[in-house]
Amino acid sequence: MGRRLLGAAVAVVAILGMKFYNKASAHDDVKSRLVALCEADAECKADVERHYEACFDSSYKMGGRRQSSNLDVDALVKCVNTRSGVPYFAANQGGE
């Protein structure tokens, strides 16, 4: 019984670890892409740095037992634009 419990605990920790790893990976990747889209616009880069954390946290869903984690890019972009007061980014509405 103790081995089963230990095995289940290890599995749960591994699953949670993967979820948090995926979140951290998505966080860094998307932020670097937004900064790259700003190119030479220093105000855009500063606004991304200022508002990204809160916007990412509000638009990233960890998922559950039957649902995978996902990032709502539209919500993230709208949040950064709204908080900065400047429409720097537009989400792809065509799904392409």
Per residue in 4-55, pLDDT (tens digit) is 888 888 888 887 787 888 888 889 999 999 999 998 899 999 999 999 999 9
CA-based nearest residue to 20, from 72, 59, 58, 69: 69
Please enumerate in sequence order all residues whose Cβ is within 8 A of that of 78, keeping only pairs 6 or more positions apart, or say none. Answer: 91
What's this model's pTM, rounded to 2 decimal places?
0.76
Report how far residue 12's alpha carbon sits from residue 30's, in angstroms, rounded to the nearest whole number. 27
In the chain, where the domains are located: 2-84
Cβ pair 79, 51 in contact under 8 A: yes
Per residue in 41-90, pLDDT (tens digit) is 999 999 999 999 999 999 998 877 777 788 998 999 999 999 999 999 88
